């Protein structure tokens, strides 16, 4: 991929091998490059495939099976077995359902496959949004991810729920029919809970109001999107529809997956379970408090109502599944295993400077431990690594003879500088002794 015969790094297209200098533009991703010519070619292939796909010629053999969906998601998401299985099944059933729709309406006596929206709960930073994002990459139906935090009731300032549908139509390239069989993931759904036995503060009221508005979508309704509201969509290149004509979209067959951390829900479950286990002749069991994750796995619709979700809303979410907090081992795997794992990314960044980045295994474990202390799941990993590597990434490009950087346990634990090995010398650099750009450049580059 990189040709360094003349001493300088030259990038070449990974597809046609053309040199950077021979093309108009070379786009780089982690470990690959593509030239403008190959992008054009790919676009043609993709456009052809899409139009074939939307003309519905596909046999049932094209349905990705739950195991395949799972295997794909595994490339991005570590652990979370239970949630992966539930989501794979939900998505697969959704496919089957929309495939049989035309048949159902003709033969009225068919078993009707009911829609099964999903609620995904569990602690922050443990992969809920990532699961949704990974699913969206393999699915063959339009998929959009929305956030409930900014949603408002229709008529209030902010994004109203119709905006979600607009995004879905956009994901379907303006094809309303396809959008009607799409999947919507709504994140941070717990942020629109009505606060239990709270007063009627403004946000509480609107939280419930937003639930009401979303409920309509979940139940299945025909939403009319006025031309004004569609404005942004029209400029994004939807298929030509009359500018005056309102867009009508039926949400009856759209699959909704909603996710949220639901902090404190485990206490509600615990209280319910505790209340039930009492009264058995006063037996006092030496009860050890069950883990939060185990409690969350036992959530019932009533617990969600106690949390502040309206019963009708909960009633529209027949499948409830949860993610578990990530332990140390999972966090280390997250650092190193997924396709675009952080360690691979930093490795690649330094490789472009012709420097090899090495992490001591103990250092990775220490990163995981620090992230666990922060309590934000895998979210903390990036900033911990950034803190350690920023000085390396700042200085190394100015030091021509660095061949290897080793991130040690001390670098993570006590803020020591990572060790910088030089190609020509056995004594490593130490970064703390403030390196000045240019001052220590080796006369010849060795690599």
Ligand X SMILES: Nc1ncnc2c1ncn2[C@@H]1O[C@H](COP(=O)(O)OP(=O)(O)O)[C@@H](O)[C@H]1O
Minimum CB distance to ligand X smaller for 130 or for 419: 130
325 binds ligand X, rule: CB under 6 A: no
Q: How far is the CB of 330 from ligand X (least distance, A)?
A: 7
Q: How far is the CB of 126 from Mg ion (least distance, A)?
A: 9
Q: Which member of 12, 80, 94, 217 binds ligand X (CB under 6 A)?
A: 80
Closest CA to 354 of 395, 407, 396: 396
129 binds Mg ion, rule: CB under 5 A: yes
Q: Which residues are 326's β-sheet partners?
A: none
Positive or negative: CA dihedral 6, 11, 15, 16: negative
Q: Where are the beta strands (DSSP E) in 197-346?
A: 222-225, 247-250, 255-260, 319-322
The two beta strands, 26-29 and 32-35, are antiparallel
Closest CA to 140 of 89, 92, 87, 103: 92
Q: Which member of 25, 65, 379, 441 binds ligand X (CB under 6 A)?
A: 379
Phi, psi dihedral angles at 241 (to 5 degrees): -125, 155
Q: How far is the CB of 166 from ligand X (least distance, A)?
A: 23
Distance CA 84, CA 76 (A): 11
Reading the block at residue 393, the tokens are 């990434």
Distance CA 290, CA 299 (A): 13
Minimum CB distance to ligand X smaller for 126 or for 408: 126
The answer to whether 259 and 132 have CB atoms below 8 angstroms apart is yes
Minimum CB distance to ligand X smaller for 127 or for 182: 127
324 binds ligand X, rule: CB under 6 A: no
130 binds ligand X, rule: CB under 6 A: yes
Q: How far is the CB of 328 from ligand X (least distance, A)?
A: 13
Minimum CB distance to ligand X smaller for 347 or for 421: 347
Q: Taking contact as CB under 5 A, which single stretch among the options 88-96, 126-134, 172-180, 422-430 is the one that binds Mg ion?
A: 126-134
Q: Which member of 94, 115, 128, 194 binds ligand X (CB under 6 A)?
A: 128
Residues 81-110, interacting with Mg ion (CB under 5 A): none
Q: Which residue is nearest to Mg ion (CB)?
A: 129
Distance CA 210, CA 193 (A): 9
The answer to whether 111 and 170 have CB atoms below 8 angstroms apart is no
338 binds ligand X, rule: CB under 6 A: yes
Q: Taking contact as CB under 6 A, which single stretch among the options 10-18, 35-43, 124-132, 152-160 is the one that binds ligand X?
A: 124-132
Q: Which member of 20, 93, 104, 124 binds ligand X (CB under 6 A)?
A: 124
Q: Which member of 88, 90, 98, 126 binds ligand X (CB under 6 A)?
A: 126
Distance CA 142, CA 173 (A): 9
Distance CA 79, CA 70 (A): 11
The two beta strands, 26-29 and 247-250, are unpaired
With CB cut-offs between 5 and 8 Å by kind, which of ligand X, Mg ion, none does residue 380 bind? Answer: none
Q: How far is the CB of 410 from Mg ion (least distance, A)?
A: 33
Residues 48-77, interacting with ligand X (CB under 6 A): 77
Reading the block at residue 227, the tokens are 């031309």
H-only helix segments in 107-242: 128-138, 162-171, 176-179, 202-219, 227-235
Closest CA to 314 of 296, 293, 324, 300: 300
Q: Taking contact as CB under 5 A, which single stretch among the options 69-77, 127-135, 148-156, 275-283 is the one that binds Mg ion?
A: 127-135
With CB cut-offs between 5 and 8 Å by kind, which of ligand X, Mg ion, none does residue 80 bind? Answer: ligand X
Q: How far is the CB of 403 from ligand X (least distance, A)?
A: 29
Q: Taking contact as CB under 5 A, which single stretch among the options 45-53, 111-119, 181-189, 370-378 is the one that binds Mg ion?
A: 181-189
Q: How far is the CB of 130 from ligand X (least distance, A)?
A: 3
Distance CA 54, CA 434 (A): 59
Torsion of CA 29, 35, 41, 42, to 10 degrees: 0
Closest CA to 390 of 410, 405, 374, 375: 405
The answer to whether 411 and 364 have CB atoms below 8 angstroms apart is no
Q: How far is the CB of 378 from ligand X (least distance, A)?
A: 3
Q: How far is the CB of 193 from Mg ion (least distance, A)?
A: 16
20 binds Mg ion, rule: CB under 5 A: no
129 binds ligand X, rule: CB under 6 A: yes
Q: How far is the CB of 121 from Mg ion (least distance, A)?
A: 11
Minimum CB distance to Mg ion smaller for 342 or for 378: 378
Q: Residues interacting with ligand X, by CB under 6 A?
A: 77-80, 124-130, 334, 338, 377-379
Q: Residues interacting with Mg ion, by CB under 5 A?
A: 128-129, 187
């Amino acid at each position: 991929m990189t040709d360094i015969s003349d001493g300088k790094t030259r990038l070449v297209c990974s597809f046609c091998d053309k040199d950077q200098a021979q093309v108009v533009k070379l786009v780089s991703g982690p470990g690959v490059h593509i030239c403008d010519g190959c992008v054009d070619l790919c676009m043609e292939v993709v456009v052809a495939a899409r139009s074939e796909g939307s003309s519905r010629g596909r046999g049932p053999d094209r349905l990705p099976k739950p195991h395949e969906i799972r295997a794909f998601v595994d490339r991005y998401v570590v652990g979370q077995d239970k949630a992966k299985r539930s989501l794979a099944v939900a998505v697969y059933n959704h496919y089957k359902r929309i495939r049989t729709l035309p048949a159902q309406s003709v033969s009225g006596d068919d078993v009707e496959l009911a829609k099964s929206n999903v609620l995904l709960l569990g602690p922050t930073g443990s992969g809920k949004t990532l699961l949704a994002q990974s699913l969206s990459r393999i699915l063959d139906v339009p998929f959009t991810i929305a956030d409930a935090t900014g949603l408002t009731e229709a008529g209030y300032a902010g994004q109203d729920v119709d905006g979600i549908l607009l995004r879905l139509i956009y994901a379907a390239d303006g094809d309303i029919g396809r959008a009607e069989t799409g999947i919507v993931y709504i994140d941070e759904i717990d942020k629109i809970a009505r606060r239990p036995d709270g007063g009627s503060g403004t946000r509480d009221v609107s939280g419930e109001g937003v639930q009401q508005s979303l409920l309509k979508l979940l139940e299945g309704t025909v939403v009319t999107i006025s031309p004004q509201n569609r404005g942004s969509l029209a400029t994004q290149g939807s298929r030509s529809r009359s500018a005056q004509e309102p867009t009508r979209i039926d949400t009856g067959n759209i699959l909704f997956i909603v996710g949220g951390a639901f902090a404190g829900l485990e206490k509600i479950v615990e209280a319910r379970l505790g209340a039930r286990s009492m009264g058995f002749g006063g037996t006092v069991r030496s009860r050890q408090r069950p883990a939060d994750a185990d409690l969350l796995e036992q959530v019932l619709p009533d617990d969600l109502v106690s949390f502040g979700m309206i019963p009708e809303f909960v009633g529209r979410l027949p499948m409830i599944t949860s993610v578990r907090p990530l332990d140390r081992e999972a966090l280390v795997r997250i650092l190193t295993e997924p396709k675009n794992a952080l360690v691979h990314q930093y490795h690649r960044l330094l490789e472009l400077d012709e420097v090899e980045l090495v992490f001591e295994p103990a250092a990775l474990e220490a990163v995981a431990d620090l992230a666990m202390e922060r309590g934000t799941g895998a979210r903390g990993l990036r900033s911990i690594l950034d803190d350690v590597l920023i000085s390396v990434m700042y200085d190394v490009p100015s030091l021509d003879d660095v061949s290897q950087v080793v991130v040690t346990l001390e670098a993570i634990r006590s803020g020591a500088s990572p060790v910088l090995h030089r190609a020509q010398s056995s004594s490593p650099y130490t970064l703390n002794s403030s390196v000045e750009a240019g001052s220590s450049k080796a006369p010849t580059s060795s690599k």
